[in-house]
Amino acid sequence: MNPLRHLSGYWRARLSAEHGFTMLLALFVLMITTLLLGSAYMAVAGDVGLSHNDLSQKQALSAAQAGIAAYNYDLNQNPNYWELCASATAVAVPGSATETYTTAPLVASTAPSGTTSCSTANPIATMIEAATLTSGAINPAAGTFRISSTGTAGSVSRTIVAQYKRSSFLDFVYYTDYETIDPAALPGNPADCARHYGDTPARGVNCSGPISFVTGDVISGPLHSEDTLAICGNPVFGRTSNDQIQAPGLSTEHQSGCTMPSAPYTAPFMTGTYNNTAPSLTPPPTDSQILALTQPAYHFVGATTIVLAGASMTVTNPALGWVNQTVAFPSNGVVYVSSSTTSACSETYTPYTANATYPAMNGNPAGANYDPACGNAYISGNYNASLTIATDNDIIINGNLSPTGQPLGTTPTGTALLGLIANNFVRLYHPVNGNNPSLSANCRASNANGSLANPYIYAAILAVNHSFIVDNFNCGSALNNLTLYGTVAQLFRGPVGTTSSGTVATGYIKKYTYDDRLATIEPPDFLSPLSAAWYVQRQTECDITAACR
């Protein structure tokens, strides 16, 4: 045998053999798998970090909200808690071992220059936003204060700024304490009418029954009453679900022939959100604090007629001998009309003989009961600057009241606001030929000169101790709609007309629309409730390293 040939065959066999090939393939697959697993691990490791950070972010935000909730609790327990300039540092969130919050009051943007912190010696100036003017506009945050709450979870922090506002009459298009006619407007002033529906003892039988919201009445905005609302038919409450309709109850009050929608209340009857557990508001006892703010030249004594025109007003005042005297609006926007201190006001007001209290106007003679010593103001006209008119006695609206150039019936714009505040009644002028002093709704008197058909009122109205009411509301013929943009706040419900078979018979159907500007700005020195709860108007998250305004 040839040895070389044998050796050659051996190597050919070795080279053609596949021993070890599968090992190379296995190593290649293992390498690829290892790379894939490594990539997956790196990707998952990054997601784990992101997920942990996301969880910490949520925990920090939750801790910041816990700080706001804790402050709300303290403020609800003591409405003056904000005056303490209280802060809290690194408070542990209940139920968590890692989350904390820190709260602190923020200095008002209108605080004196150089102020760096809230001062318990002067909390109002350092913490409450003032109603200052900037570029001709009133500070929209006037009357509010702010706190910051920073939540921490691990190394992550998030900060919330909460702005607080106090409940106000200006939060509502309509406010009453009692949904019954004012005892002062009834013969004998029956004290048992100053009771809420369902009280024990109950309202008296001489209270002229409940005053109902009826089909055709439209309350376009938020409402607050301390009393049950009497319903007869299908009035409309609210514009959207954002409008709170706050009252302890809704009822026909057992009126014969009256029906109302059944609960749960829905649109169009209840377009707003019904709330029967809202905190109470208490009216102040008097508007005298406005007198203290009034400049001497704008403090009038005795019956005063004021016709507004832009930023000036034409004044007639017998005590001063003024007849159509034109003056500019006061620089602080406040006018006050007092009763005489030398001659007591002798007028006795009742809505059923109201023309007896009017001076001579519109071709009608002065009423036998008219007394120029009474602190009454007769108001009409237009305005392009903000003004508040307050009186010792009554305000009588004897013409349209609207912003200058405002097309009647359209939503108001700009910053000019009118406030009307009377210690007693805010009345709508309605003289009649003849009177019926009874409580019946079948007065045979007719509308006299100057009766206002379809009047428009753009104003925030407050009758401190009595009502917003139409004089002789049960007399004459129908005067159609009473359209108001603003607020009507009154201690007792004032009737504005009567209905027959579901339509207006005398006086007016209510068309009240909330002026949304009142949520942020207000007429000069408009009165606030005696006691009202603070609530969070808005919350904003901000960067703790920034100003957090």
DSSP string over 414-462: SS--EEEEESS-EEE---EES---SS-S----EE-TT--SS-EEEEEEE
Residues 6+ apart with CB under 8 A from 23: none
Tokens of 468: 């917003």
DSSP 94: T
Percent of residues in the chain assigned helix, strand, coil, to nearest 5? 20, 30, 50
369-396 residue pLDDT tens: 899 999 999 999 999 999 999 999 999 9
Confidence at residue 549, expressed as pLDDT on a 0 to 100 scale: 58
91-113 residue pLDDT tens: 999 888 889 999 999 999 889 99
pLDDT(439) > 50: no
Q: Coil, helix or strand for 357?
A: helix
> What is the H or E stretch that residue 200 is in?
none
Q: Which residues of 208-246 are buried (b: 16+ CB within 10 A; e: fewer)?
A: bebbbbbebbbbbbbbbbbbbbbbbbbbbbbbeeebbbb
For residues 149 and 154, give the distance between their C-alpha atoms in angstroms, rounded to a whole number: 16
Which of the four pLDDT bands, split at 50, 70 and 90, describes residue 450? very high
Query: CB atoms < 10 A from the CB of 457, how many?
Result: 24
Domain match, 372 and 388 both: yes
Domain match, 267 and 294 both: yes
Report, as an integer, the average pLDDT of 149-158.
Answer: 92
For residues 494 and 467, give the distance between their C-alpha atoms in angstroms, rounded to a whole number: 5
pLDDT(40) > 70: no
Which of the four pLDDT bands, split at 50, 70 and 90, describes residue 441? very low
Confidence at residue 13, expressed as pLDDT on a 0 to 100 scale: 57
Q: What is the pTM of this model?
A: 0.76
Report, as an integer, the average pLDDT of 246-262.
Answer: 91
Q: Coil, helix or strand for 158?
A: strand
Domain match, 297 and 345 both: yes
pLDDT(27) > 90: no
Domain match, 290 and 150 both: no
Domain match, 347 and 460 both: yes
Domain match, 122 and 255 both: no
Residue that wins the pLDDT comparison between 56 and 40: 56
Q: Coil, helix or strand for 328?
A: strand
Asked if residue 489 is part of any domain, the answer here is: yes
Residue that wins the pLDDT comparison between 149 and 208: 149
For residues 491 and 502, give the distance between their C-alpha atoms in angstroms, rounded to a whole number: 27
Q: DSSP letter string over 517-544?
A: GGGT--STT----SS--EEEEEEEEE-T
Asked if residue 20 is part of any domain, the answer here is: no
Asked if residue 442 is part of any domain, the answer here is: yes
Give me the percent of the chain exceeding a pLDDT of 90.
56
For residues 390 and 463, give the distance between their C-alpha atoms in angstroms, rounded to a whole number: 10
Asked if residue 528 is part of any domain, the answer here is: no
Give phi and psi for 123, each to the nearest 5.
-65, -30
Amino acid identity of 159? T
Domain match, 194 and 59 both: no
Max Cα-Cα span within the chain: 158
DSSP 366: P
How many domains are contained in the chain? 2
Give burial (CB, 10 Å; 0-12/13-18/19+) of 452.
buried
pLDDT(442) > 60: no
Asked if residue 35 is part of any domain, the answer here is: no
Q: Which residues span the domain enclosing 357?
A: 170-519
Domain match, 245 and 369 both: yes
> What is the H or E stretch that residue 27 is in?
helix 21-77
Domain match, 133 and 96 both: yes
Domain match, 174 and 147 both: no
Parallel/antiparallel/unpaired status of strands 426-428 and 334-338: unpaired
Asked if residue 16 is part of any domain, the answer here is: no
Confidence at residue 4, expressed as pLDDT on a 0 to 100 scale: 54
**In 446-494, alpha helices (H):** none
191-211 residue pLDDT tens: 888 899 988 888 887 777 778
For residues 498 and 442, give the distance between their C-alpha atoms in angstroms, rounded to a whole number: 9
Domain match, 147 and 174 both: no
Give phi and psi for 432, each to the nearest 5.
-135, 160
User: Of 549, 529, 547, 531, which is closest to residue 139 (Cα–Cα)?
Assistant: 549
Report, as an integer, the average pLDDT of 395-403.
Answer: 98
Residue that wins the pLDDT comparison between 455 and 545: 455
Which of the four pLDDT bands, split at 50, 70 and 90, describes residue 183? confident
110-145 residue pLDDT tens: 899 999 999 999 988 899 888 665 655 566 777 789
For residues 183 and 189, give the distance between their C-alpha atoms in angstroms, rounded to a whole number: 5
For residues 396 and 452, give the distance between their C-alpha atoms in angstroms, rounded to a whole number: 12
Residues 6+ apart with CB under 8 A from 333: 385, 386, 387, 388, 523, 524, 525
Amino acid identity of 191? A
Which of the four pLDDT bands, split at 50, 70 and 90, describes residue 356? confident
Asked if residue 313 is part of any domain, the answer here is: yes
Asked if residue 79 is part of any domain, the answer here is: yes
Report whether 512 contacts 494 (CB < 8 A). Answer: no
Domain match, 330 and 254 both: yes
Sequence length of the chain is: 549
pLDDT(15) > 80: no
Confidence at residue 348, expressed as pLDDT on a 0 to 100 scale: 84
292-327 residue pLDDT tens: 999 999 999 999 999 999 999 999 999 999 999 999
User: Of 377, 315, 370, which is closest to residue 345 (Cα–Cα)?
Assistant: 370
The three-point CA angle 424-445-253 to 5° equals 60
Residue that wins the pLDDT comparison between 5 and 320: 320
Residue that wins the pLDDT comparison between 489 and 205: 489
Peptide bond between residue 284 and the one before it cis (omega within 30 degrees of 0): no
